[in-house]
Amino acid sequence: MSGLTRSDIDDILRLIDASDFDELKLEMGDTKIELRRRGAAAPQAQPAPAPAPQATQPTLEKPPAPVQAPVVASGGGSEVPAPLLGTFYHAPKPGADPFVKPGDRVNPETVIGIIEVMKLMNSVEAGIAGTVIDFVAPNGELVEHGQTLIRIQPD
């Protein structure tokens, strides 16, 4: 294993112990780790999709390109999900002003917080233009992959 120390692995195990989830998949460069709590079921293999029916006439339309939007729409604005598991911070350091506050306007590249994983700080961008409604994830708390961090009212 390259780049991970025993201390890093201990940190990962503490994150899992402090959380409610049973499984963690982590990829850092060429290193891939998959951890599962004792007793947690292994993920079931997805059944192969049924073959699409043959079209009787060729179509000239291209299938739509996949959209890689990290923002999920909801009734109260758009929710920005955590891109990875770790500890979410609203500010770059203790006592500093938060990256954004409710009422602030953001663009897709605006940093809204950081997620610490194994002492590495990962910036989280808004991914959408709009106005910050509120923080959902508390400062300094462990967040899961996909957990809502903040809500943004899109432009």
Q: What is the pLDDT of residues 71-123, one digit of tens each?
A: 555 557 899 999 989 999 999 998 999 999 999 999 999 999 999 988 888 99
pTM surpassing 0.75? no
CA torsion sign for 139, 84, 120, 124 is: negative
